[in-house]
Amino acid sequence: MYSSKLYKDYSKRYILIKQTKKKRKMKKVIAIFALAFVVMSCGSQSSTESVSDSTAVANDTTAVAVDTTAVSSDSTEVVK
């Protein structure tokens, strides 16, 4: 049959190949999950923003009224 040295080499190679396949499969699974999360987070078109502007300043109700009784000047008057 097989010599013990050949069998050991074969078993080491088999384990190495098996581990490599597991790593590749795990990388694919992680990539698929990452892609799914990106699509879920960026794919939603619904908006949760408020319609009203929360940074708008309210009108000041205690403002002073403008004086409408201004004095008119007479341009024909001569000052000495």
Number of domains the chain contains = 1
Residue 66, in any domain of the structure: no
pLDDT digits (tens, 9 = 90+) for 57-76: 666 666 666 666 666 666 67
Residue 79, in any domain of the structure: no
Residue 51, in any domain of the structure: no
Residue 37, in any domain of the structure: yes
Kindly tell me if the per-residue pLDDT of 17 is higher than 70.
yes
**Enclosing domain of residue 37:** 1-41
Non-local (6+) Cβ contacts of 2 within 8 A are 10
The pLDDT value recorded for residue 11 is 84
Give phi and psi for 69, each to the nearest 5.
-100, 50
Kindly tell me if the per-residue pLDDT of 34 is higher than 90.
yes
The pLDDT value recorded for residue 49 is 61
The pLDDT value recorded for residue 58 is 64
55 or 63: whose pLDDT is higher? 55
Residue 52, in any domain of the structure: no
Residue 52 DSSP class: S
Residue 10, in any domain of the structure: yes
